[in-house]
Chains A and B, each alone.
Chain A
Amino acid sequence: MIWVNAILQGVLLGGLYALFAAGLSLMFGVMRFVNIAHGDFIVVGAYAILTAIVTMGLPPVLGVAAVLVLMAVAGFAGQYVVLNRVLGKDILPPILVTFGMSIILQNALLEIYSADSRKLPTGTFETSSIDLAGGLAVGVLPLCMFLTALAVIGGLQFVFYRTALGRMLRATSDDPEIVPLMGGNNNRIFAIATAMASLVVGIAGIWLAMKTQFDPAAGPARLLFAFEAVIIGGLGNLWGTLAGGIILGVAQTLGAQIGGGFQILAGHLVFLLILIVRPKGLFPRMKG
């Protein structure tokens, strides 16, 4: 029963990893570049909600709304002003720019918030749980986190496949050169994609803040988890990304059952194993 419990907790943890990964997957899907600062943006989101609620004392709903709006606006502006200038045929410049952003963000956070690890206190939300049959129990917080991931990925899926905006995003992903011939503006479409990704990053950051201790240097590890979830699930497939997050989460909680030191290692080993057996991931959708 300990193992069943570990798998259950792993699935719920996978929801957090899918939230980490969804924004990365979206930006890669539309613009074909990997945002090296993705993990740091998540941590910025975590500090933002901490500041809004603990420091400024905003009510939770208002704090969450403020953080999400702020993240989306920052994403739109950052893409328009900075990243659009370096996107092109060469994949290296945007990677270098986001690598630089990562270093700047980590040091800025260190300067503002110190190196102490922090957590957003949520009172009884993080301690209450629901009892299931057979002595199993799920925490309310991990359950809500998982449901959020389902909602986010379902929402993105809806936008991508059922709306005019999503159609334009997919067309841009296919062939950005031709899109202006249809009246689409690449720079604007890219900025909208990054705004959407940043909104998801904000959601991920808020859950990170509630779920675990974080510090200014926590970003790169979140990027790694996100990256692994995306690759395991297969590039360009959002539900695959959720599956990738769950596989990573389950591997980690099972690893933790074997021994404390195995938690992170087990996740990486499963990632490597899948990379060897299925280099394109389990559910690839992207062509070429």
Chain B
Amino acid sequence: MSLLSATSVTAHYGDFQALFGINFAMAAGETVAIIGSNGAGKSTFLRALTGLRPTTGQNIQFDGALIAGLPADAIHKRGLAMVPEGRRLFPSLTVEENLQIGAAGGRAGHWTLDAVYDLFPDLRDKRRNGGTELSGGQQQMVAIGRALMSNPKLLLCDEISLGLSPKVIKDIYAAVPRIQAAGTSLIVVEQDVGQALAVADRIYCFMEGRVSLTGTPATVTRAEISQAYFGLNTEGTAA
């Protein structure tokens, strides 16, 4: 069954058009990676899905209901959570309070404080620390845990590897299978193509506000990705 389907999503920043009719669909249980270079429109698309960036038109369906045009807090309550780019922890809250804020929407399920501490054991000892006193990797764990606390049906991860060391990125991605196992579908936005291919069932490549390639990690070739990612020629505007 289709969990999320978006048709012809456009977005503007003033006069600048960031998205040119994105079509996107995923089924429940899938993990989809969106890759693309800086400015390709990946984050803008996620912000449109969450309601942070209002969209015009009735073109986004989530879990059988229309969500386009709803305010962000209402979309969140339907089970769509996001780990925002740059982590955006609340600096005056402790680690545990940051996690508790994630549960403010009141959705019950597998993810509780304990479940998050089991997923990221480093956080248990740091739970009384200020959220921003932690290392970058631990902060990213808090940001992911905070989003999980709402027990989302779909978790959007925006550039969770950004600014982290390869070792830390590996640790964080090690948590992904357990998140999937708990029944959560994922959209992972990445500039790191290798990481994205490793976890995803399917990929979308964005370029200059359009989908330039879709496929599964098994079927797309490196050459196709390079072309769709960097736009070395103009053939790649499929899908």
A interface with B by C-beta (< 8 Å): 164, 167-168, 170-171, 173-175, 177-185, 287
Tell which of A175, A181, A183 has the most Cβ of chain B within 10 Å: A181
Contact B93 A174 (CB under 8 A): yes
Some 15 contacts from A to B, beta carbons below 8 A apart, are A167-B104, A168-B101, A170-B93, A171-B93, A174-B90, A175-B88, A178-B84, A179-B73, A180-B71, A181-B81, A182-B146, A183-B73, A184-B73, A184-B101, A287-B92
Residues of chain A within 8 A (CB-CB) of B51 are 180
Residues of chain B within 8 A (CB-CB) of A170 are 90, 92-93, 97
Residue count of chain B within 8 Å CB distance of chain A: 26
Contact B105 A182 (CB under 8 A): yes
- B106 at the binding interface (Cβ < 8 Å): yes
Residues of chain A within 8 A (CB-CB) of B92 are 170, 173-174, 287
Contact B91 A174 (CB under 8 A): yes
Given contacts A174-B91, A183-B104, A287-B91, contact A167 B97 (CB under 8 A): yes
What is the minimal beta-carbon distance from A263 to any residue of chain B, in angstroms?
37
Contact A180 B52 (CB under 8 A): yes
Contact B90 A181 (CB under 8 A): no
Residues of chain A within 8 A (CB-CB) of B147 are 181
What is the minimal beta-carbon distance from A120 to any residue of chain B, in angstroms?
39
Residues of chain B within 8 A (CB-CB) of A175 are 88, 90
- B127 at the binding interface (Cβ < 8 Å): no
**A-B pair number, CB within 8 angstroms:** 65
Among residues of B, the one whose C-beta sits closest to the C-beta of A288 is B91
Among residues of B, the one whose C-beta sits closest to the C-beta of A285 is B92
Residues of chain A within 8 A (CB-CB) of B82 are 181
Among residues of B, the one whose C-beta sits closest to the C-beta of A160 is B92
- B100 at the binding interface (Cβ < 8 Å): yes
- Secondary structure at the A interface, as helix, strand, loop or mixed, is helix
Contact B73 A180 (CB under 8 A): yes
Contact B50 A181 (CB under 8 A): yes
Instruction: Specify which of A164, A171, A180, A185 is in contact with B90 (CB 8 Å cutoff).
Output: A171
Contact A181 B72 (CB under 8 A): yes
Contact A183 B105 (CB under 8 A): yes
Instruction: Specify which of B52, B76, B90, B97 is in contact with A183 (CB 8 Å cutoff).
Output: B76
- B150 at the binding interface (Cβ < 8 Å): yes
Contact A181 B52 (CB under 8 A): yes
Contact B106 A183 (CB under 8 A): yes
Residues of chain B within 8 A (CB-CB) of A179 are 73, 101
Contact A185 B73 (CB under 8 A): yes
Inter-chain CA distance A185–B76, complex, in Å, is 11
Residues of chain A within 8 A (CB-CB) of B88 are 175, 178
Inter-chain CA distance A23–B97, complex, in Å, is 24
- B102 at the binding interface (Cβ < 8 Å): yes
Instruction: Specify which of A168, A177, A183 is in contact with B77 (CB 8 Å cutoff).
Output: A183
Inter-chain CA distance A182–B102, complex, in Å, is 5
Binary per-residue interface labels of chain B (29-44) against chain A in the complex, 1 for a CB within 8 Å, 0 otherwise = 0000000000000000
Tell which of A174, A175, A180, A182 has the most Cβ of chain B within 10 Å: A182
Contact B104 A182 (CB under 8 A): yes
With A181-B82, A183-B105 already in contact, 4 other A-B pairs whose C-beta atoms are closer than 8 Å? A170-B97, A175-B90, A181-B52, A181-B76
Residues of chain A within 8 A (CB-CB) of B102 are 182
Inter-chain CA distance A158–B150, complex, in Å, is 25
Residues of chain B within 8 A (CB-CB) of A178 are 84, 88, 90
Binary per-residue interface labels of chain B (87-114) against chain A in the complex, 1 for a CB within 8 Å, 0 otherwise = 0101111000100111011100000000
Contact B52 A167 (CB under 8 A): no
Among residues of A, the one whose C-beta sits closest to the C-beta of B51 is A180
What is the minimal beta-carbon distance from B62 to any residue of chain A, in angstroms?
15
**A-B residue pairs, 10 tightest by C-beta:** A183-B105, A180-B72, A174-B90, A180-B73, A183-B76, A171-B90, A185-B73, A178-B88, A182-B101, A171-B101
What is the minimal beta-carbon distance from B222 to any residue of chain A, in angstroms?
34
Inter-chain CA distance A167–B76, complex, in Å, is 18
Inter-chain CA distance A17–B96, complex, in Å, is 35
Residues of chain A within 8 A (CB-CB) of B100 are 164, 167
